[in-house]
Structure formats: C-alpha cells, structure tokens
Amino acid sequence: MIGVAVVGYGYWGPNLVRNLAETPGAKLIWVCDLKKDRLAGVQLRYPTVQITDDFDEVLRDPRVDAVAIATPVSAHYMLAMKALMAASEEARRMVEEAARRRLILAVDHTFIHTGAVRKMREIIENGLGDIYYYDSVRVNLGLFQHDVSVIWDLAVHDLSIMDYVLPEKPVAVSATGMGHVAGEPENIAYLTLFFESKLIAHIHVNWLAPVKVRRTLIGGSSKMIVYDDLEPSEKIKVYDKGITLNGNPQMDGEKVYDMRVGYRTGDMYAPQLDMTEALGRELKQFVDCVMTNAQPIADGHAGLRVVRILEAATQSLAQRGRVVELEPARLIA
C-alpha cells in the first residue's frame, strides 16, 4: 500500500481525498490544511484519516510515501520542494531532485486523463492529417484569484491538454490581457503560441464572461475536431471538412495564378468515450507508477514545460504582447 497525504482541503482537495479513499493500492493517511474548520469536516467523513495544520508533521511520518498538493498556486513550489527534500537530503529543483533520487513526481493535469482528451490525442495521431491550428476558449464569471492572473488559473488547463495531444511543442508565445479590478491581476487574456511548423495555437481565458464556455477547435488537413467539455455526452465531434487545392500555382511577382481552392464537406461523427472519472484514473496511475517505478503521463517534465510557457506568457503580458522565445529546458543531471 502507498501511504498518501493530501495538503490543502479547499476547492480541489476534497476531490483528491474522495478518490484516494477509493483508489486500490492507496491508503489515505493525512489531510493537512491551515483552516481547522475544514479539517473538522474531514474527520467527520473519514474518521480513520489523521488531520493537521502542520505540513512538517506530515513529512515526519514514515508511513507517508506520496504527497498530493492542492493548495493555492503560489504555495505549490515551496510545498513540493519541501516534500522532495524530506524524502532526500537536499534539492535544487523539483524535477532535478525527483530524477536524481528516483522519486515519482507527477503534476495534476487532470484533463489529460479524461476520455475526451485521450480520444482527441488518438484521433490526432491517426487521422487528422497535418495540424493547422489549435484554438481554445475557457471563460466564465469568476472566480477571481488574488495571487495569480487568469493565465495561471485557467490557461494552464488548455496548455496541459495542448502539451499532451499535439505532436510538437511551441517555440514562442505572445500574450495580451487586461485587469479590470484595481490591485488585482489580469482577468482576461489572449495567448498565441508559435511552432516550428505552420501550426499555430490560440487560447482565450476570461473571468468576466456572462456564460461558461469550454470549447476547443483543432483543424487538420484531413479532418477537424470540436471538443466541448460542457456537452453531457458528445464532448468530441469529428468533422470530415476542409479544403482541397487544385491546379498548379504559377508565380508572377507577388500573385499566384491558376490556384483553385475547393471546399470538402463530409460527415460528422461523435466517437464513444470512456466515462471513467479522470481523477480516479490519474490517481490509480500515480499509485501504479510509485509501485513499479514508472513515469506518469503528466510527469515533472510535462509540468515544467507548461510552467515555462506560463512564465513566458506573463513576461509577454507585461510587455503588451511582445513575442517571447521559449528556451529548451536545461535540467541538471
């Protein structure tokens, strides 16, 4: 059995606790939170689980093999580094330390464990053709965060999905946005990501929208995908639509002659999806990885790639959309 502690019992922590309590191979030992009223609720529902507001008490317990962190974003780095350092003696960075000590570092990219996103990756690998664009919208009214902008709160989900389903990684990012509440971070933002190929990605996130939208379009040379996470059943729709180029283009200065653009309109189908709860699947995979020393799908490197994009986007946002190149990650062996 893998002994697990959950740190943070606010918005996402209860979901982690519920799933860990039902995950074969995992034993939930601790729930840690600074607010004692939240911990009282844990004790009522899970009487065998220990509670504390002291993270160090969790780390001192030799029964704890894994720590799931569900605190506000600004505390992730400190807590994760502290957890890694407790299992080893010293660390420089989370990914480096986990690799050096052969620990399993997983990031909570929950969406990539959904049946819809896994099916999307399968379709992209086997039938979409050359990928032209990735266009996503994630907007709603609230919840305003005080420690991070809307990019870190909402765009992180789209970036993690993009990192999982696309066959190549972005090389540069541009971001624009605006904050409409005095003293608070940006509440609306637009990210554009550039790749070595002609693929382009665009992400729109907003805390000030009158409706909730969770929609992604992926266009390929053969087919196109519409992913709507709010759809109750047909979350993925695949369209046999696109263009065909006919004739031989002839250059005359800056003009192209004899090129004919045709439009192909075929069928739409909605593939059957695995409806297993994503968080349960994710936690089961994590437990299996700890037991077998395998790497999870969303490992530390995946988290690092997403964080690098978020940091570059934040830098671009501060400079009114200046394109920021994404340098390859350099990890110390």
Q: Where is average pLDDT lowest: 98-107, 147-156, 192-201, 244-253?
A: 244-253
Evaluate if residue 85 carries a pLDDT over 80: no
The pLDDT of residue 94 is 78
- Phi, psi (degrees; rounded to nearest 5) at 297: -60, -50
Which tokens go with 138? 């994630």
The pLDDT of residue 311 is 86
Q: Where is average pLDDT lowest: 29-33, 42-46, 90-94, 188-192?
A: 90-94
Summarize pLDDT for 265-296 with one digit per residue, the tens: 889 999 999 999 999 999 999 999 999 989 99
Residue 263, CA atoms < 13 Å, CB-side half-sphere: 1
| Per-residue CA distances from 194 to 161, 176, 264 (Å) | 16, 15, 27
pLDDT band at 333, cuts 50/70/90? very low
- Phi, psi (degrees; rounded to nearest 5) at 315: -65, -45
Angle at 15 between CA 107 and CA 162, to 5 degrees: 40
Evaluate if residue 175 carries a pLDDT over 70: yes
Evaluate if residue 45 carries a pLDDT over 80: yes
d(CA 137, CA 214): 6
Residues 53-69, mean pLDDT to the nearest whole number: 92
d(CA 138, CA 157): 9
Evaluate if residue 332 carries a pLDDT over 50: no
Share of residues in the chain with pLDDT > 90 (%):
69
Summarize pLDDT for 110-163 with one digit per residue, the tens: 999 999 999 999 999 998 999 999 999 999 998 898 878 999 999 999 999 999
The pLDDT of residue 70 is 93
d(CA 9, CA 31): 7
